[in-house]
């Protein structure tokens, strides 16, 4: 009999009842160190007092109004984001997938309004993940996501990951945009080299192609900069944000330059919940905290500290771990066994991690994880690796 909850996930038999900082408590009272953070969503850990305050203060005032009215909480968050980034304008969504949909629409509309309606083709990359809508799965093209769901939205090609020559020859007079994660998350914590992002920006400039960065997972401070592309010193025309921006409240955003957004006039796009006052009140608090340079410097320091510990972990367990990758607190351990087995061994050791493609175990702790919890994480990962070899 089909479960009452549609079984599209291989769920672990773990149910949590309470969260605090980097820790989750299960129904049976056992505590787990959370290095998944809801897949980079709980950027400030669980139950952060400032977020609880922002949420409850807004909840007592106003939950929801339609986007047919002016929403001051949206304007406030949009102001914070445009002040901190390349962007001139922001549209709020409830998820990363919805941000992908708008990014695609915006890019196509840009060329349509520029008198080049034939420029509809979007170049994406192998291993990419942009969400689960029919458009977003078409962008990724991965067989496990698209099989059985055709016909897919046309107009996407996937190139080998970060292959500059392939990109150069793939851009034609039909090309609309290139969409890329500066650090692939689901794809296995693959950091696009700075040189490659720079080269991509140049190619896009030379050909009038729009550059879309998907920073749904790698953005909002995750790599030690507010957005991962800042490390390369280049900016996109359009950027998707979600996950960490709501700190656990469903919120996403599309950021764009004035030029890229020029086609998105009244009536061309919308969302009932997108930019809801509750979400934006929380998002503004999250953004305020994370965009503080002192906070970001701490993320980078903690990332380096964690990474150093992980390097010794790899050295101690060469039969389980191969190497460390990533940037800031977006870290991956390349595994010898299936990463799902390591995740399971982690459950037994009281630590939560997330598997990714390319045989990588993802570590995405809260950005404010205390140093002591990083040390505890290393101890528990060590225990998980030891137990894994013993079985
Ligand atoms: C999670 C993710 C998405 C999709 O976001 P949802 O909120 O699950 O719709 C898109 N792109 C990237 C890079 C992601 O990690």
242 lines ligand 1 (CB under 6 A): yes
CA of 217 to the centre of ligand 1 (A): 7
93 lines ligand 1 (CB under 6 A): no
Q: For residue 374, what are the domain limits?
A: 16-34+293-390
214 lines ligand 1 (CB under 6 A): yes
Q: What is the pLDDT of residue 263?
A: 97
185 contacts 130 by C-beta, under 8 angstroms:
no
Q: What is the pLDDT of residue 163?
A: 86
Give the tokens for residue 142: 């991965």
181 lines ligand 1 (CB under 6 A): yes
The verdict on residue 39 lying in a domain is no
Same domain, 340 and 360: yes
Q: Cα angle at 284 between 136 and 40, to 5 degrees?
A: 45
- The sign of the dihedral angle between the CA atoms of 301, 370, 225, 41 is positive
- 47-56: long-range contacts (C-beta < 8 A, 24 or more apart)? 47/19, 47/20, 47/21, 48/247, 48/368, 50/285, 50/289, 51/247, 51/248, 51/249, 51/282, 51/285, 51/286, 53/285, 54/281, 54/282, 54/284, 54/285, 55/249, 55/278, 55/281, 55/282
Residues 230, 28: Cα–Cα separation, whole Å:
43
Residues 106, 91: Cα–Cα separation, whole Å:
11
The verdict on residue 43 lying in a domain is no
Which of 38, 180, 243, 274 maximizes ligand 1 atoms within 8 Å of its Cβ, making it the mutation to test the pocket? 243
Q: What is the pLDDT of residue 270?
A: 98
Helix, strand, coil shares, percent, the chain, to 5: 40, 20, 40
- For the chain, the distance separating the N- and C-terminal CA atoms, rounded to the nearest angstrom, is 33
Same domain, 133 and 221: yes
CA of 322 to the centre of ligand 1 (A): 27
96 lines ligand 1 (CB under 6 A): yes
Same domain, 306 and 364: yes
Same domain, 239 and 355: no
Instruction: Name the strands in the sheet holding 23-26, side by side, starting at the edge strand that comes first in the sequence.
Output: 16-20, 23-26, 31-34, 351-352
Q: Which of 232, 259, 290 delimits the end of a domain? A: 290
**H/E stretch holding 254:** strand 252-256
Coil vs helix vs strand at 105: helix
The verdict on residue 9 lying in a domain is no
Q: Residue 185 CA: which ligand 1 atom is closest?
A: 15
Q: Residue 94 CA: which ligand 1 atom is closest?
A: 7
Phi, psi angle pair for 286, to nearest 5°:
-60, -50
Residues 367, 328: Cα–Cα separation, whole Å:
9
CA of 383 to the centre of ligand 1 (A): 31
Residues 127, 42: Cα–Cα separation, whole Å:
24
Same domain, 281 and 298: no
Same domain, 99 and 127: yes
The verdict on residue 224 lying in a domain is yes
180 lines ligand 1 (CB under 6 A): no
Same domain, 151 and 223: yes
Q: Residue 98 CA: which ligand 1 atom is closest?
A: 9
Same domain, 60 and 169: yes
* Of 314, 390, 381, nearest in space to 347 by CA: 381
Q: What is the pLDDT of residue 379?
A: 98
Same domain, 239 and 270: yes
Q: What is the pLDDT of residue 119?
A: 98
Same domain, 215 and 340: no
Residue 85 class from Cβ within 10 Å (0-12 exposed, 13-18 middle, 19+ buried)?
Answer: buried
Residues 346, 333: Cα–Cα separation, whole Å:
13
19 contacts 41 by C-beta, under 8 angstroms:
no
pLDDT (tens, 9 = 90+) of the chain, 391 residues, equals: 999 999 999 999 999 999 999 999 999 999 999 999 999 999 999 999 999 999 999 999 999 999 999 999 999 999 999 999 999 999 999 999 999 999 999 999 999 999 999 999 999 999 999 999 999 999 999 999 999 999 999 999 999 998 888 999 999 999 999 999 999 999 999 999 999 999 999 999 999 999 999 999 999 999 999 999 999 999 999 999 999 999 999 999 999 999 999 999 999 999 999 999 999 999 999 999 999 999 999 999 999 999 999 999 999 999 999 999 999 999 999 999 999 999 999 999 999 999 999 999 999 999 999 999 999 999 999 999 999 988 7
Residues 191, 183: Cα–Cα separation, whole Å:
4
Domain with residue 249: its CATH number is 3.40.640.10
The verdict on residue 226 lying in a domain is yes
Coil vs helix vs strand at 134: helix
Give the tokens for residue 285: 């608090």
Q: What is the pLDDT of residue 389?
A: 87
The verdict on residue 10 lying in a domain is no
Q: Residue 96 CA: which ligand 1 atom is closest?
A: 5
Q: Which of 290, 305, 328 delimits the end of a domain? A: 290
Residues 157, 380: Cα–Cα separation, whole Å:
42
Give the tokens for residue 301: 């320091």
Neighbours of 127 (CB within 10 A): 21
Query: Helix 293-316 to helix 371-390 angle, to the nearest 10 degrees?
Result: 20
Which of 217, 354, 360 maximizes ligand 1 atoms within 8 Å of its Cβ, making it the mutation to test the pocket? 217
Which of 242, 245, 252, 254 maximizes ligand 1 atoms within 8 Å of its Cβ, making it the mutation to test the pocket? 242
Same domain, 164 and 282: yes
254 contacts 103 by C-beta, under 8 angstroms:
yes
Same domain, 194 and 250: yes
Domain with residue 364: its CATH number is 3.90.1150.10
Q: Residue 131 CA: which ligand 1 atom is closest?
A: 4
Which of 92, 127, 129 maximizes ligand 1 atoms within 8 Å of its Cβ, making it the mutation to test the pocket? 129
CA of 202 to the centre of ligand 1 (A): 26
The verdict on residue 315 lying in a domain is yes
The verdict on residue 1 lying in a domain is no
Structurally, how many domains does the chain consist of?
A: 2
Q: Which of 227, 261, 290 delimits the end of a domain? A: 290
Residues 118, 25: Cα–Cα separation, whole Å:
54
């Amino acid at each position: 009999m089909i479960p009452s909850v549609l079984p599209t996930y291989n769920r672990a038999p773990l149910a949590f009842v309470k969260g605090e900082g980097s820790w989750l408590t299960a129904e049976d009272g056992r505590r787990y160190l959370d290095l998944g953070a809801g897949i980079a969503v709980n950027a400030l850990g669980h139950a952060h007092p400032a977020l609880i305050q922002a949420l409850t203060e807004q909840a007592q005032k106003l939950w929801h109004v339609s986007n047919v009215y002016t929403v001051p909480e949206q304007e406030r968050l949009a102001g914070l984001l445009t002040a901190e980034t390349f962007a001139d304008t922001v549209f709020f969504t409830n998820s990363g997938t919805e941000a992908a949909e708008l990014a695609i629409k915006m890019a196509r509309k840009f060329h349509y309004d520029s008198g080049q309606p034939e420029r509809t083709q979007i170049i994406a990359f192998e291993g990419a993940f942009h969400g689960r809508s029919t458009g977003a799965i078409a962008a990724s093209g991965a067989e496990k996501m698209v099989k059985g769901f055709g016909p897919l939205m046309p107009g996407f090609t996937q190139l080998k990951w970060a292959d500059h020559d392939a990109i150069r020859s793939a851009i034609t007079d039909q090309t609309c945009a290139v969409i890329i994660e500066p650090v692939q998350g689901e794809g296995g914590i693959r950091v696009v080299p700075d040189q490659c992002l720079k080269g991509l920006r140049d190619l896009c400039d030379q050909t009038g192609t729009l550059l879309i960065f998907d920073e749904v997972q790698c953005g909002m401070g995750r790599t030690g900069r507010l957005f991962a592309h800042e490390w390369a010193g280049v900016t996109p025309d359009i950027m998707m944000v979600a996950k960490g921006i709501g700190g656990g409240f469903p919120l996403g955003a599309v950021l764009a330059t004035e030029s890229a957004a020029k086609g998105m006039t009244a009536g061309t796009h919308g969302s009932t919940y997108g930019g809801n006052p509750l979400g934006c009140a929380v998002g503004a608090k999250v953004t305020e905290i994370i965009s503080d340079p002192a906070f970001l410097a701490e993320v980078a320091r903690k990332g380096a500290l964690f990474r150093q510990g992980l390097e010794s972990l790899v050295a101690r367990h060469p039969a389980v771990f191969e190497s460390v990758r990533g940037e800031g607190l977006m870290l991956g351990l390349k595994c010898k066994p299936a990463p799902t087995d390591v995740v399971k061994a982690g459950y037994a050791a009281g630590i939560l991690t997330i598997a990714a493609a390319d045989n990588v175990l993802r570590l995405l702790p809260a950005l404010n994880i205390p140093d002591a919890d990083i040390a505890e994480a290393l101890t528990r990962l060590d225990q998980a690796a030891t137990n894994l070899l013993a079985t």
